[in-house]
Protein backbone atom coordinates (compact mmCIF):
# COMPACT_ATOMS: atom_id res chain seq x y z
CA UNK A 1 0.00 0.00 0.00
CA UNK A 2 1.35 3.41 -0.91
CA UNK A 3 1.21 5.75 2.01
CA UNK A 4 1.10 9.42 1.17
CA UNK A 5 3.11 11.43 3.64
CA UNK A 6 1.24 14.37 5.13
CA UNK A 7 2.11 17.77 3.74
CA UNK A 8 4.61 19.69 5.82
CA UNK A 9 3.11 22.11 8.30
CA UNK A 10 4.05 25.55 6.97
CA UNK A 11 3.62 27.20 10.36
CA UNK A 12 5.89 24.64 11.99
CA UNK A 13 8.61 25.28 9.40
CA UNK A 14 8.60 29.05 9.91
CA UNK A 15 10.85 29.08 13.00
CA UNK A 16 13.37 26.90 11.13
CA UNK A 17 13.36 29.33 8.20
CA UNK A 18 13.91 32.23 10.57
CA UNK A 19 16.73 30.37 12.27
CA UNK A 20 18.45 29.82 8.91
CA UNK A 21 18.06 33.50 8.03
CA UNK A 22 19.64 34.52 11.33
CA UNK A 23 22.53 32.10 10.86
CA UNK A 24 23.08 33.37 7.32
CA UNK A 25 23.25 36.94 8.61
CA UNK A 26 25.82 36.24 11.34
CA UNK A 27 28.92 36.51 9.09
CA UNK A 28 27.75 39.92 7.85
CA UNK A 29 27.11 41.03 11.42
CA UNK A 30 30.58 39.91 12.44
CA UNK A 31 32.12 41.89 9.60
CA UNK A 32 30.18 44.97 10.59
CA UNK A 33 31.38 44.67 14.19
CA UNK A 34 34.99 44.40 13.06
CA UNK A 35 34.67 47.48 10.91
CA UNK A 36 33.13 49.35 13.84
CA UNK A 37 36.19 48.70 15.99
CA UNK A 38 39.36 50.70 16.28
CA UNK A 39 40.32 51.57 12.74
CA UNK A 40 36.94 51.89 11.02
CA UNK A 41 38.66 53.91 8.32
CA UNK A 42 38.64 53.70 4.53
CA UNK A 43 40.77 50.96 2.97
CA UNK A 44 42.05 53.23 0.24
CA UNK A 45 42.53 56.87 -0.66
CA UNK A 46 39.68 56.52 -3.21
CA UNK A 47 37.19 56.10 -0.37
CA UNK A 48 38.70 59.06 1.45
CA UNK A 49 38.18 61.34 -1.55
CA UNK A 50 34.41 61.20 -1.23
CA UNK A 51 34.57 64.09 1.26
CA UNK A 52 35.87 67.57 0.35
CA UNK A 53 39.29 68.32 1.78
CA UNK A 54 39.55 71.19 4.28
CA UNK A 55 42.03 73.93 3.55
CA UNK A 56 45.20 74.14 5.62
CA UNK A 57 44.50 75.92 8.88
CA UNK A 58 40.86 74.81 8.85
CA UNK A 59 41.42 71.45 10.46
CA UNK A 60 38.48 70.63 12.67
CA UNK A 61 39.79 69.83 16.15
CA UNK A 62 37.51 68.66 18.96
CA UNK A 63 38.34 68.52 22.64
CA UNK A 64 36.25 65.67 24.08
CA UNK A 65 36.25 65.29 27.84
CA UNK A 66 38.50 62.64 29.33
CA UNK A 67 38.89 60.99 32.71
CA UNK A 68 42.08 61.75 34.63
CA UNK A 69 44.76 59.08 34.31
CA UNK A 70 48.42 58.86 35.31
CA UNK A 71 50.20 60.31 32.25
CA UNK A 72 52.76 58.38 30.25
CA UNK A 73 55.90 60.52 30.29
CA UNK A 74 58.79 59.25 28.17
CA UNK A 75 62.17 60.79 27.50
CA UNK A 76 62.23 63.07 24.45
CA UNK A 77 65.28 61.22 23.15
CA UNK A 78 63.05 58.20 22.46
CA UNK A 79 60.99 59.95 19.78
CA UNK A 80 63.06 58.79 16.83
CA UNK A 81 63.18 55.24 18.17
CA UNK A 82 59.36 55.22 18.30
CA UNK A 83 59.04 56.47 14.71
CA UNK A 84 61.60 53.95 13.45
CA UNK A 85 59.85 51.08 15.23
CA UNK A 86 56.49 52.14 13.76
CA UNK A 87 57.85 52.33 10.22
CA UNK A 88 59.31 48.84 10.49
CA UNK A 89 55.81 47.31 10.64
CA UNK A 90 54.27 49.23 7.72
CA UNK A 91 52.34 46.76 5.50
CA UNK A 92 51.58 44.44 8.43
CA UNK A 93 47.96 43.20 8.08
CA UNK A 94 45.23 44.76 10.21
CA UNK A 95 43.68 42.50 12.82
CA UNK A 96 41.10 43.60 15.37
CA UNK A 97 42.64 43.17 18.82
CA UNK A 98 46.10 42.49 17.37
CA UNK A 99 49.29 43.94 18.83
CA UNK A 100 52.17 41.97 17.26
CA UNK A 101 53.83 41.91 13.83
CA UNK A 102 53.11 38.18 13.59
CA UNK A 103 49.44 38.44 14.55
CA UNK A 104 48.62 41.81 13.01
CA UNK A 105 47.60 45.14 14.53
CA UNK A 106 44.62 47.27 15.26
CA UNK A 107 45.30 50.98 15.75
CA UNK A 108 45.86 51.02 19.51
CA UNK A 109 47.65 47.67 19.39
CA UNK A 110 50.14 49.19 16.96
CA UNK A 111 50.79 52.13 19.30
CA UNK A 112 51.18 49.80 22.27
CA UNK A 113 53.64 47.64 20.35
CA UNK A 114 55.71 50.65 19.26
CA UNK A 115 56.03 52.15 22.72
CA UNK A 116 56.42 48.85 24.56
CA UNK A 117 59.71 48.46 22.72
CA UNK A 118 61.14 51.68 24.14
CA UNK A 119 59.37 52.11 27.50
CA UNK A 120 60.11 50.27 30.73
CA UNK A 121 56.65 50.74 32.22
CA UNK A 122 53.06 49.59 31.80
CA UNK A 123 51.23 51.17 28.89
CA UNK A 124 47.59 51.82 27.91
CA UNK A 125 45.84 49.51 25.44
CA UNK A 126 42.68 51.14 24.08
CA UNK A 127 42.59 54.38 22.11
CA UNK A 128 40.70 56.13 24.91
CA UNK A 129 43.21 54.93 27.51
CA UNK A 130 46.02 56.33 25.36
CA UNK A 131 44.17 59.64 25.13
CA UNK A 132 43.64 59.71 28.89
CA UNK A 133 47.31 58.92 29.53
CA UNK A 134 48.73 61.56 27.18
CA UNK A 135 49.03 65.34 27.23
CA UNK A 136 47.08 67.51 24.75
CA UNK A 137 49.12 69.84 22.57
CA UNK A 138 48.61 72.42 19.88
CA UNK A 139 49.45 71.41 16.32
CA UNK A 140 52.11 74.11 16.25
CA UNK A 141 54.03 72.04 18.83
CA UNK A 142 53.52 68.69 17.08
CA UNK A 143 56.68 66.58 16.84
CA UNK A 144 57.63 63.18 15.49
CA UNK A 145 56.38 60.44 17.78
CA UNK A 146 53.35 62.36 19.07
CA UNK A 147 49.87 60.85 18.83
CA UNK A 148 46.97 61.89 16.59
CA UNK A 149 43.39 60.96 17.48
CA UNK A 150 40.24 60.71 15.36
CA UNK A 151 36.53 60.05 15.71
CA UNK A 152 35.93 57.46 12.98
CA UNK A 153 32.96 55.62 14.48
CA UNK A 154 30.83 58.29 16.14
CA UNK A 155 32.82 57.90 19.36
CA UNK A 156 35.57 60.31 20.47
CA UNK A 157 39.08 58.86 20.31
CA UNK A 158 38.02 55.81 18.30
CA UNK A 159 41.12 55.81 16.10
CA UNK A 160 44.75 56.86 16.52
CA UNK A 161 48.12 57.00 14.82
CA UNK A 162 51.73 58.09 15.38
CA UNK A 163 52.98 61.31 13.83
CA UNK A 164 56.10 60.79 11.70
CA UNK A 165 56.62 64.38 10.52
CA UNK A 166 55.08 66.81 8.00
CA UNK A 167 51.59 66.00 9.30
CA UNK A 168 51.96 62.39 8.15
CA UNK A 169 51.10 59.56 10.52
CA UNK A 170 51.40 55.78 10.58
CA UNK A 171 48.38 53.74 11.68
CA UNK A 172 46.51 50.45 11.33
CA UNK A 173 43.39 51.49 9.41
CA UNK A 174 40.69 48.82 9.05
CA UNK A 175 39.72 45.23 8.42
CA UNK A 176 41.24 44.05 5.16
CA UNK A 177 43.92 46.75 5.18
CA UNK A 178 47.52 46.99 6.33
CA UNK A 179 49.56 49.36 8.48
CA UNK A 180 50.20 52.43 6.34
CA UNK A 181 50.93 56.16 6.37
CA UNK A 182 48.39 58.91 5.69
CA UNK A 183 48.19 62.69 5.86
CA UNK A 184 46.43 64.48 8.68
CA UNK A 185 44.86 66.61 5.96
CA UNK A 186 43.50 63.54 4.18
CA UNK A 187 39.88 64.15 3.14
CA UNK A 188 38.68 61.38 5.39
CA UNK A 189 40.71 62.14 8.49
CA UNK A 190 40.75 65.95 8.60
CA UNK A 191 37.04 66.38 9.49
CA UNK A 192 37.31 63.60 12.08
CA UNK A 193 40.37 64.93 13.90
CA UNK A 194 40.08 64.78 17.72
CA UNK A 195 43.38 66.46 18.50
CA UNK A 196 47.08 65.82 19.01
CA UNK A 197 48.53 64.51 22.24
CA UNK A 198 51.94 63.47 23.50
CA UNK A 199 53.45 60.82 25.78
CA UNK A 200 56.82 62.59 25.84
CA UNK A 201 58.13 65.08 28.36
CA UNK A 202 58.16 68.53 26.83
CA UNK A 203 61.60 70.08 26.46
Nearest to 166 by CA among 191, 193, 148: 148
Could you write out the DSSP letters of every residue in 10-72?
HHHHHHHHHHHHHHHHHHHHHHHHHHTSTT---SSHHHHTTSPPPPTT------------PPP
CA–CA separation, 63 and 118 (whole Å): 28
- Of the candidates 2, 38, 107, 167, the residue annotated as catalytic is 107
Q: How wide is the angle at C-alpha 153 spanned by C-alphas 147 and 159, nearest 5°?
A: 15
Determine whether 167 is an active site residue.
Answer: no
Determine whether 38 is an active site residue.
Answer: no
- Of the candidates 38, 163, 167, 171, the residue annotated as catalytic is 171
- Of the candidates 2, 38, 159, 167, the residue annotated as catalytic is 159
Residues with catalytic roles: 107, 159, 171
Amino acid sequence: MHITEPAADTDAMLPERQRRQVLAALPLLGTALLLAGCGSTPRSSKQAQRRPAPADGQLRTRYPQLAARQPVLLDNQLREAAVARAMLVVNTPYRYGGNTPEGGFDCSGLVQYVFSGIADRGLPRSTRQWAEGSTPLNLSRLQRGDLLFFNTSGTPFSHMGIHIGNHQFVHAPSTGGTVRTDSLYNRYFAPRFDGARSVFRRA
